[in-house]
Amino acid sequence: MNGQGRVSPGSAAPAEERGCSWLNIWVFLIFVLAVKAAFVALCLWLVVPICHSSDQPSALQQQFSQWECDSAVPQGTDGGWTCCPKGWRRFQGSCYFLSSDTMSWSESAQNCSGMGSQLVVISSKAEQDFLSEQIKQSKEPKPDNFYIGLFAEKVGQWQWVDKTPYNETAAFWRKGEPSHGHEENCVIMYRDTELPNNWSNVRCWNYHRICEAAAVIV
């Protein structure tokens, strides 16, 4: 005879035990749903701000859907990710595009503008050194010369595309440059020259280009 309170083999479990089993299943399902919801929220937090980090997304943000981000937080900002369009190169707070094709200076300026950027404005030796190294490391077939955003409407009257004042003491001209040719009103960076001074003024023919835009902070 079975003792009181014992259940014979094959007999049904008490109702209390069956209830606990269903309770465990519901707890598990709720946990799975919570994990999925958290994952979706994380994806939205990381991806959506790239496209909608402000009420008026920048021109750069409107042009690109694929981005590369890192978690290096620039000093003095509140964001946690610094992002550039895929294929662009980041230095400090800027993104740079080094072209593989060539265009005239005016076409280059227009092309950069169409991507929500501008021909690069070099404001420090650190930036000059970075770009010079990027040019040297380029794998494209002999991309020797790259336009920057410096030009002259009149001989010797140099100006940057964004109206930044031109500072002759902070320029990086090659020895003997700039020359005073009447049609040499555009400026390129030479790949194979002694650094950091690799600027030269040239006629505004077809060369590669460097575009620059502010990195997106999210």
What is the CATH architecture assignment of 59-217? Roll (3.10)
Give the global pTM: 0.72
Chain centroid offset of residue 59 CA: 13
Alpha-carbon span 195 to 29, nearest angstrom: 63
User: Domain segments of the chain: what residues?
Assistant: 19-52, 59-217
Q: How do residues 3-32 score in pLDDT, each as one tens digit?
A: 454 444 444 445 444 455 666 666 666 766
**Closest to 185 in 3D by CA, of 155, 217, 144, 218:** 155
Q: How do residues 150-209 score in pLDDT, each as one tens digit?
A: 999 888 899 999 999 999 989 999 999 999 877 899 999 988 787 899 999 999 999 999
What distances in angstroms separate CA 149 from CA 27, 113, 194, 204, 207, one per listed residue? 62, 12, 21, 12, 13
DSSP states of 181-200: -TT--EEEEESSSSSS--EE
